[in-house]
Copies of this chain bind each other. A is one copy, B any other.
Amino acid sequence: MTYCVSINVENGFVACSDSRTNAGFDDVSVYRKMHTFVWPGNRVFALMSAGNLATTQLVTRKLNADVKSGALPNLLSVSSMQEAADYIAAVNMNIQNLHVVREAGNTSFEASFILAGQIAGSRHETLMIYPQGNFIHESDEHPFLQIGETKYGKPILDRVVNRQTFLERAGRCALVSMNSTIRSNLTVGPPIDLLIYEKDSLDFPRQMSLAEDDPFSKQIAEAWNEGLIRALQNLPKFYWESLDNAPQQPSANSDQSY
């Protein structure tokens, strides 16, 4: 399984992906699911993938090969993010179909992608490409996109993210969303790739790869836990809980076993 999320805010976009790939419980590996394609001053793309690993690897190889060989279209020739998504979708479909023809088993060769990027002269955008070749665009009402194991990490995004969220805060929010997913689903795991792109920079974005024991990653998780416990403590009381006779729960640090 996989979890990838992008958040597109006014000041730029963030992309975050896990690195666990499993073909059964006894065949777990680490593969990065985030790939960047950068031509400084001209265009920046970040591509995250979920689904069949062989398909996604072939897709990124083909994208690189097309740029090298000059085959049209390619990531350097497309004039808009939509065109880029169209092109990647077509590559994805071709590769999926190749395998479906060869082998008619139960294996799914499907892959889906999140494409985030900016082309000089246009605004930064994020799109989600389905295995069927169609795609959707982020919107003001829904600035984040998710692929893979999306449910555990969605409530936090639903509640706190909007277009005006500051870029770095969106980055922290993506980390929290990822952390919630990793806690709840064993097939999503570190290292976590985080990318933060400031709009109009048109250069290599900030990128960090957070290993399981990364101190920053741990600090984020601990601070988030504490924040949630505090949020729970501050919820309104039930009508029958009077301050006089209700027992007082000890403070955040003492009443939790972790």
Contacts and interface: CB of A to CB of B under 8 A. Distances in A.
A245 to B, nearest CB: 12
B247 A176 contact: no
Given A158-B183, A158-B184, A176 B256 contact: no
A198 to B, nearest CB: 11
21 contacts: A151-B151, A151-B152, A152-B154, A158-B180, A159-B180, A162-B257, A164-B256, A168-B237, A168-B241, A168-B246, A196-B238, A206-B238, A206-B240, A216-B236, A223-B236, A224-B231, A226-B234, A227-B228, A227-B235, A228-B231, A231-B231
What size tier do the contact residues of chain A reach? 35 or more
Contact of A176 (B235, B240, B241): B235
A97 interface: no
Interface string A156-194: 101110101110110111001000110110000000000
Nearest to A218: B236
A225 B227 CA distance: 12
Count of identical protomers in the assembly: 2
Nearest to A140: B257
Given A153-B155, A223-B231, 18 more contacts: A155-B155, A159-B180, A159-B224, A159-B225, A159-B228, A160-B225, A160-B256, A165-B249, A168-B237, A172-B235, A172-B238, A173-B232, A216-B236, A219-B236, A220-B236, A226-B231, A227-B230, A227-B234
Question: Does more than half of chain A's interface fall in helix, strand or loop, or is it mixed?
Answer: helix
A255 interface: yes
A227 B236 CA distance: 12
Contact of A180 (B155, B206, B257): B155
A154 B156 CA distance: 12
A78 interface: no
Contacts of A184: 151, 154-155, 158
B223 A172 contact: no
